Structure formats: C-alpha cells, structure tokens
Copies of this chain bind each other. A is one copy, B any other.
Amino acid sequence: MTRIACAEFAPVVGDLDGNRARVLDWIERARTSGVDIAVLPELASSGYVFADAAEARAVAMRADDPVLASWARAAGDTAVVVGFCELGDDRDGGGALYNSAAVLDGGVVRAVYRKTHLWDAEKLVFRPGSCPPPVVSVAGCRIGLAICYDLEFPELVRSLALRGAEVITAPVNWPLVARPEGERPPEVVQAMAAARTNRVFVAACDRWGTERGQRWTRGSVVIDEAGWIVAGGAVPGGPGRLVVADIDPARARDKAVSERNDVLLDRRPELYPGW
C-alpha cells in the first residue's frame, strides 16, 4: 500500500519566509505520519492573490533555488508535490513567471511542471507552460501532475493516464463558488469523474482561509480509481489538516471495466472530430 496525503494549509500571500517554514512544517508532519507521497497546495511558497506581477516576482524562485533543494532533503523518504511561484531562467527572455509544481523525491528536485491552463487573473501574472505535464515514478508508483484548472480538461488527465500515470497529484487553490445545497464543490465532481473515466487515483490538495477577500473551498480529496472519495472532501473553516489515505496504485494499472471493456483501449480517436 502507498500512503498518500494532502497537506491542506494556508499560505500567506507575499510571506516567502513564512511560507517556506509552513511548507517545511507540513512536509515534516507528512514524513512523521509515514506518508509516501505528500501533495501540497498550489503556489504554496507564495500565496495566490497577487496585487500585480511585481508582487509575484518578488517572491518567485528558480527551479534550482536552494529552498526547493532544502525541502527535498527535509522530506527524507517522503515524495512531495508542491506548488511554487517559479521565476524562469534567462532563456525566457529575462525570466517569465510560472505557476509551477515541483516533484521532490530522494532528496532532490525530480521534475518541475508549469501549469498549462491558467485561471483568470493568473493570465496577467504568469506565462502558461509549454511542456506537457510529466509522469514521474516515485514511491513505487507513477504520478502524473496537474495544477488546479488543469484538472478540468479531460484531455490533460487522459493524456497522463495514457502515459501510465496511476495517481494524478494536483496542487490546487479552488476559489469557493456557490453550489446547490448538499452538493460537493464542482471541482470535486469533475475530479471524481476524471478518476473513474481513466481508472486513476486523484489526490488534489486545496488550501483553506481567505486571502484578500478570496475565500477558498478547502476541498482536499483523495479519490480512488473507481471515482469514489476515500479521504477528505470539502469542510467549512480551518485549520490545516492532513488528508491521508492508504491506496494501492497497482489497481490503476487494470483498465478493465467489464469482461470486454477497457477504458483506454475502447477509445476511438478517429471518431472525435474537432479534438
């Protein structure tokens, strides 16, 4: 079994030092809870609601920043997927900003992914990524990355599944939206469908609190390969929490849904015009 956890805490916008310490604290909580794979929120290093691009730039880090390396070392045997505000290198024309996620494993930064689908005002601050999200082997399973709004594109999740991802690890910051009484957040419904559609696990780590008037959903969730929630789900208020589930990622390798059906092999790409 693989112990996976979402470390749902509240980064503080612009407080780089404080957020660095918060990330270390939650990595430590995950490590001491025997977590194999910990997912932290989107933009955990920086907070989300920037006043402008300059404010984001002031708290951005390069992918080779010693802070990321120090988190990787602190995580020990726990693999970590954490969102951060990335400063591109000089090849980006002086350093564009990206809404990124790093995979920390074995004491090093194993991969960095730049969010493909930017949400609303993010478009005023960040450049969208230009590489597909990676699939990375950590803790004996293959994780595929997505960041927040990315999860709402079934194309992206399907692509990860086709490339062998068993668990979709997704740092998110889900803005709280109105929903009918008794319903789950719509992003959770979409994540449940994404899991069942592809027979993959999904671990989405949200945040809590209110940031410059923006309320967050606090909807961190672990979903199994049949699309059912096995840990977490939206709850009101704070404080931080570790949403933990023990899963068997190998179950995601079996794509059969009946004696004669397989969710990936049954696709008929020639019959989806416009794709």
Residues of A near any B CB (own CB < 8 A) = 116-117, 119-121, 123, 128-133, 149, 152-156, 158-159, 162-163, 179-180, 183, 186, 189-190, 192-194, 196-197, 226-228, 258-261, 263, 266-269, 271-275
Closest to A129 in B: B271
Residue of B nearest to A120 (CB): B258
| Chain B residues with CB under 8 A of A130 | 271
Q: What is the distance, in angstroms, from A23's C-beta to the closest C-beta of chain B?
A: 27
Measured between beta carbons, the chain B residues less than 8 angstroms from A131 are 271
Q: B153, B163, B196, B260: which contacts A121 (Cβ < 8 A)?
A: B260
Whether A116 contacts B271 by the Cβ 8 Å rule is yes
Count of chain copies: 2
Chain B positions within 8 Å of A189 at CB level: 189, 192-193, 196, 227
Quick check: B155 and A272 within 8 Å, CB to CB?
yes
Contact of A260 among B120, B154, B192, B228 (CB under 8 A): B120
Expressed in whole angstroms, the Cα–Cα distance for A197 and B156 within the complex equals 12
A193 to B184, CA, bound (A): 12
Does more than half of chain A's interface fall in helix, strand or loop, or is it mixed? loop
Partner of A193 from the list B128, B149, B194 (CB cut-off 8 Å) is: B194
The interface residues of chain B lying within 8 Å CB-to-CB of A228 are 179-180, 183
B196-A272 in contact (CB<8A): no
Closest residue of chain B to A271, judged by CB?
A: B132
Q: Contacts A163-B273, A196-B186, A269-B275 given: A155-B158 contact, CB under 8 Å?
A: yes
